[in-house]
Structure 1
Amino acid sequence: MGVIQYIVDLGASVMLPIIIMILGLLLRQGIGKSLRAGITIGIGFVGIGLVISLLTENLGAAATAMAENFNLGLNVVDLGWPGTAPMAWASDLGLIAIPVAIAVNIVMLLLKMTKVVNVDIWNIWHMAFTGAIIQVATNNFYLGILGVAVHAAIAYKLGDMFGKVTDQYFGLEGISIPHGSSAYMGIFAVPIDDLIEKIPGINKINITSEKIEEKLGVLGQPTILGAVLGFIIGLLAQYTVGASLQLAIQMAAVMVLMPMVVKLIMEGLIPISEAARNLLDKHFKGSDLKIGLDPALLLGDSQVIAASLIFVPLTVLIAVIVPGNQVLPFGDLATIGFFVAMAVGIHKGNLFRTLISGSVIMFITIWISNQMINLQTLLGQNVGLVNAGERVSSLDQAGSPITYLLANGLTMEMGVGFFVILLLYIGCFAYTYIKYKRNTLYVEIDETEGAETSESISNN
């Protein structure tokens, strides 16, 4: 266990390359190819870390200044996933969550309940956090383990359900994204997309960064849009014109750099993914198994990046209007794209629809994270990461409906808000699952002929 803890503490940029190298060797890719694939993926994750740091240190600070300038009265800081993941790993459920999640995956594969073969060990921290919060809430270790198992089962199923979106829209053939806020919040976008489709006039609105570029020419290019959004956020933060211009260039850099570092990860993954698929096809013909990987891969899409920048100031605004909210979005603003990434794919890159579903997603996330302040603060104090008198929360993972519903359900703390979230989440999950089973979850539109064709999804 000490060795595993040591590797976990090294972070995703080391943990995942090690796993990929081992996987490559098991798939008979040879030492050279396996080593290259692992290191390339590690470089990609280091790159993502640098870009996220660029966002956190500059965009996050601007958002905080904006909140303070407008006297928003939000006094509990969102730690973000960088501050929350260490809590999960340091908890009693931290390392135990890994074998539990792997065991759930194996059982589901054997029972043909999922097609996801998860290799993203790092993001098991989401499941560990759910278990740790349940243990804190119930003071029951075994209920915490149950929480890890339930979260894992839901995550793998979500990977199946959104398989066509990752295949067709994001072009990640043979790869599944079962983890994190991208998966568990994506279910809200499905009924919203269908609702918008039924509203005459509104259903014709389709805004993408490409169409903006087409209409505005050079002014509509992603780098220009990133710069404009960065400049506006700087002005709202009451930065000087010079500082706002610096933020503008930094956000333009994000628009260019993020796809480049994601491309590096894909370069390392492709040979391993293809070898895994060939092996699985050989021994499990017709099984169509998918490799489960990090949602960071979705951030390479230009529409996701554009939505991320739009939702930075918008999320702060939403935090103000959420009834009774005390959480100031900060740590997760840099990775706000994770929350809306799957929605972007479901809406086929339509930023107008993403604006609507994403607002719903962030409203729910912020409301839940506000309800979880006491539990996350207690967890942080238990593991020595939060000082006495401090109060903390996070959008990711404390804003997860899965964590909130399990923790409050097991402690019987069921107010009106609990039942609203319960009905919304179960309703949207069931709606999404039914569409998945009917092979209608992702429908491609032929714009030249106006015809709709539904791509089939193999049922489990």
Structure 2
Amino acid sequence: MAVIQYIVDLGASVMLPIVIFIIGLLLRQGVGKSLRSGITIGIGFIGIGLVVDLLNQNLGPAAQSMADNFNLGLSVVDLGWPGTAPMAWASSMGLIAIPIAIAVNIIMILLRMTKVVNVDIWNIWHMAFTGAIVYVATGNFALGIVGVIVHAIIAYKLGDMFGQVTDKYFGLEGIAIPHGTSSYMGVFATPINDLLDRIPGINKINIDGEKIEQKMGPFGEPTIIGAILGFIIGLLAGYEVGQALQLAIQMAAVMVLMPMVVKLIMQGLLPISDAAKKMLDKRFSGSNFRIGLDPALLLGDSQVISASLLFVPLTIVIAALVPGNQVLPFGDLATIGFFVAMAVAIHKGNLFRTLISGSVIMFVTIWISNQMINVQTKLGQNVGLVDEGDRVSSLDQAGSPITYLLTKGLSVEMGIGFSIILVVYVFCFWYTFRKYKKQTLYVEDDQE
């Protein structure tokens, strides 16, 4: 266990390359090819880390300045996933969640309940966090284990359900994205998309990067859009023109650099992914397995990045509108693309529709994270990461409907809010699952 803890502490940029290297050897790819794949993936994650740090260091303070300028009075800071994942790993569920999640995956594969073969060990922290929060809320360790198991089952099914989307929109054939906000919040976009299809006039509105670029020429290019959004955010933050221009160039850089580093990950992954699929398909004839990976891969799409920048100021506005909310979006603003990535794909890059479904997603996320302040604060204090008297929460993972429903349900705290989220989320999940089973979750335009 000490060895596992040591590897976990090294972070995703080291953990995943080690896992990929070992898998490569098991798939008989040879030491050289396996090492090359692992290191290339590690380089890609280092690149993503640098871009995310660029966002955190520059976009984060701008967002907080915006909130201060508009006197929103939000007193509980969103720690973001960088502040939340360490809580999960440091908790009593941290290491035990890894073998549990792996066992759940193997059992589901053997029972043909999923086609996802998860190699993204790092993101098991989401499941560990659910288990840890359930344990804090109930005081029952066994119920914490139940939280890990249920979250794992749902995550792997989400990887299956959005397989059509990752194949056709993102071009990630044979890849599944089972973890994190991208998948579990993506289910909201499906019924919203079909509802918008039925509204005359609204169903004709289609705003995406390609059309903007066609109509606006160079001014519609992703880099220039990123620069314009960065400049506007800077002005809303009260920055001087010079500072706003600096933020503009930094956001333009994000638009260019993120797809480049994601390509590196894909270069390292593809040989391993192909070998794994061939071996598994040979052992389990016709199963078409998918390799489960980090949702960071979805940030390689320019539409996702554009939506992410649009939602920085919008999420702060939403936070001010959520009744009784105390949570100031901060730590997760830099990676808000994770929350809306699947919605972008479900809407086929239509930013107009993404603004609608994304607003619903962020409203629900913020409302839930506000209800989870006390339990996340207690968890943070239990593991020594939150000082006495401080209050914290996070959009990812404390804003997850899965974590919220398991926590409140297993602790028998079922008020009106719980009932509303339960009904809405179960309906959206069922609706999305039904379309997945009918193979209509993502239909190409020429087939519609």
Q: TM-score, normalised by structure 1?
A: 0.97
The correspondence of residues 230-241 of structure 1 with structure 2, limited to 5 A, is: 230-241=230-241
1:178 matched residue in structure 2: 178
2:439 matched residue in structure 1: 439
Measured on the aligned residues, the alpha-carbon RMSD in Å equals 0.6
Identity %: 79
1:112 matched residue in structure 2: 112
2:169 matched residue in structure 1: 169
1:63 matched residue in structure 2: 63
The correspondence of residues 181-260 of structure 1 with structure 2, limited to 5 A, is: 181-260=181-260
CA offset at residue 412 of structure 1? Answer: 1.2
**SS at the partner of 1:291?**
strand
Q: Does 1:268 align with 2:268?
A: yes
Number of residue pairs aligned between Structure 1 and Structure 2? 448
The one-letter amino acid of 1:423's match is V
CA offset at residue 62 of structure 1? Answer: 0.1
Equivalents in 2 of 1:258, 1:380: separation in Å? 31
Equivalents in 2 of 1:226, 1:210: separation in Å? 14
The one-letter amino acid of 1:420's match is I
CA offset at residue 386 of structure 1? Answer: 0.1
2:38 matched residue in structure 1: 38
2:137 matched residue in structure 1: 137
**SS at the partner of 2:445?**
strand
**SS at the partner of 2:413?**
coil
CA offset at residue 50 of structure 1? Answer: 0.5
CA offset at residue 71 of structure 1? Answer: 0.4
User: Which stretches in structure 2 are left out of the alignment for 5+ residues?
Assistant: none
The correspondence of residues 376-455 of structure 1 with structure 2, limited to 5 A, is: 376-446=376-446, 451-452=447-448
1:48 matched residue in structure 2: 48
1:98 matched residue in structure 2: 98
Q: Does 1:375 align with 2:375?
A: yes
CA offset at residue 18 of structure 1? Answer: 0.3
The correspondence of residues 9-24 of structure 1 with structure 2, limited to 5 A, is: 9-24=9-24
Equivalents in 1 of 2:3, 2:293: separation in Å? 23
**SS at the partner of 2:7?**
helix
CA offset at residue 201 of structure 1? Answer: 1.4
Equivalents in 1 of 2:352, 2:313: separation in Å? 16
- Give deviations 1:414-450, integer Å, cap 9, x for gaps: 111111100000010111111111221111112xxxx
CA offset at residue 210 of structure 1? Answer: 1.3
Equivalents in 1 of 2:72, 2:191: separation in Å? 32
Equivalents in 1 of 2:111, 2:35: separation in Å? 33
Equivalents in 2 of 1:161, 1:223: separation in Å? 32
Equivalents in 1 of 2:400, 2:107: separation in Å? 25
Equivalents in 2 of 1:427, 1:219: separation in Å? 41
User: Which stretches in structure 1 are left out of the alignment for 5+ residues?
Assistant: 453-460
- Give deviations 1:201-230, integer Å, cap 9, x for gaps: 111111111111111111111110000000
CA offset at residue 186 of structure 1? Answer: 0.5
The correspondence of residues 259-408 of structure 1 with structure 2, limited to 5 A, is: 259-408=259-408
- Give deviations 1:118-149, integer Å, cap 9, x for gaps: 01000000000000000000001110001000
- Give deviations 1:261-284, integer Å, cap 9, x for gaps: 000000100111111111122222
CA offset at residue 411 of structure 1? Answer: 1.2
**SS at the partner of 2:376?**
helix
The one-letter amino acid of 2:72's match is L
**SS at the partner of 1:384?**
coil
- Give deviations 1:11-30, integer Å, cap 9, x for gaps: 00000000000011111111
**SS at the partner of 2:444?**
strand
Equivalents in 2 of 1:217, 1:137: separation in Å? 54
- Give deviations 1:283-320, integer Å, cap 9, x for gaps: 22210111100000000001101100000111111000
Equivalents in 1 of 2:420, 2:383: separation in Å? 32
Q: TM-score, normalised by structure 2?
A: 0.99
Equivalents in 2 of 1:260, 1:19: separation in Å? 23
Q: Does 1:125 align with 2:121?
A: no
List, as ranges, runs of 4+ consecutive aligned residues in structure 1 with deviation greater than 6 Å: none
